[in-house]
Amino acid sequence: MPAQIIDGNALAQEVRHEVAVRVRDLAARGITPGLAVILVGDNPASAAYVRGKVRACAEVGIFSETIHLSAATSQERLLGLVAELNQDPRFHALLPQLPLPPGLDTQALIRAIDPEKDVDGLHPYNLGRLLIGDGEGVIVPCTPAGVQQMLLRTGHSPAGRHVVICGRSTLVGKPLAVLLGHKAPGANATVTLCHTGTRDLGHFTRQADILVAAIGRPQTITAEMVRPGAVVIDVGINPVPDPSRKSGHRLVGDVDFAAVREVAGAISPVPGGVGPMTVAMLLVNTAHAAARAAARG
């Protein structure tokens, strides 16, 4: 029997509705959550992602503004802009769209963001707080938070389960491993972190109750690598050639979806899985940042 499809679009709509309610509550107190997005260069994919985030903000009542800089922007100019936005009371959250053009230092940019406005949760301060499980005020990176919510909202709690994560990036794999390994509600998993250097990857993936693929290689996870009945979350977004498409390509995940669907108990598609939930958690983090700013006065 084919696996249950974990519909990221439907789950994201639930989250957006919840955020809209919270934003209305904040508005009743005279607070309008604000998000500043920095877009450097003219990467079409990055521009499309930013447009989607701006639309999502408008849908729930979050004020957003996109600052579009040329690819020739200097590191000094970029860091100066971040310093200005850190001080701008209109914005409770600040999001640089990654990747940056060649020649710009991504880590220097992230470190320059006020940790309270770091809506992506990638500042070393916020990653450190996540590591030690420092209370409810921790800003969790959007994609790991989205994966956790996908599991919880579809009845696949990670508690007591063996979660195998393929991918060790700071954006997804490492923070997700920490998040699901916490002794906390919605977590309490036994976590194995694999990567491109793991020998005999299938040996580990076949042990997973919950398998998360975030390795950045198209259709790496095959049916033979999945334990029957396992929950499979596909974080990958990979363009592959497709002459039948106007664009000349289509998007696939890190999982061989058609084959794995026949083995898994539940699976998220690409597109329409983790992507919409990542954007939804950006909205959640922005609303949280506004509430925290109001509490600080």
pLDDT digit string, tens, across residues 142-168: 999 999 999 999 999 999 999 999 999
| Predicted pLDDT at 137 | 80
Q: Is the pLDDT of residue 297 over 90?
A: no
pLDDT digit string, tens, across residues 85-131: 999 999 999 999 999 999 999 999 999 999 999 999 999 999 999 99
Torsion over CA of 281, 285, 286 and 291, rounded to 10 degrees? 140
Angle at 19 between CA 14 and CA 25, to 5 degrees: 135
Domain definitions of the chain by residue range: 29-114, 142-275
Asked whether 213 and 233 are in contact (CB, 8 A), the reply is yes
* 142-275: in CATH 3.40.50.300: no
Which amino acids are annotated catalytic? 53, 97, 120
Q: Is the pLDDT of residue 217 over 80?
A: yes
- In the chain, the percentage of residues whose pLDDT exceeds 70 is 100
The CATH class that applies to domain 29-114 reads alpha beta
Phi and psi at 193, nearest 5°, equal -105, 115
Instruction: Output the six-digit token pair for 202.
Output: 């299938």
| Predicted pLDDT at 296 | 87
The residue-averaged pLDDT of 262-285 equals: 97
pLDDT bucket at 136, cuts 50 / 70 / 90: confident
Question: Considering the entire predicted model, what is its pTM?
Answer: 0.95
| Predicted pLDDT at 134 | 87
Domains 29-114 and 142-275 are alike in CATH topology: yes
The residue-averaged pLDDT of 249-256 equals: 92
Q: How many CB atoms lie within 10 A of CB 250?
A: 14
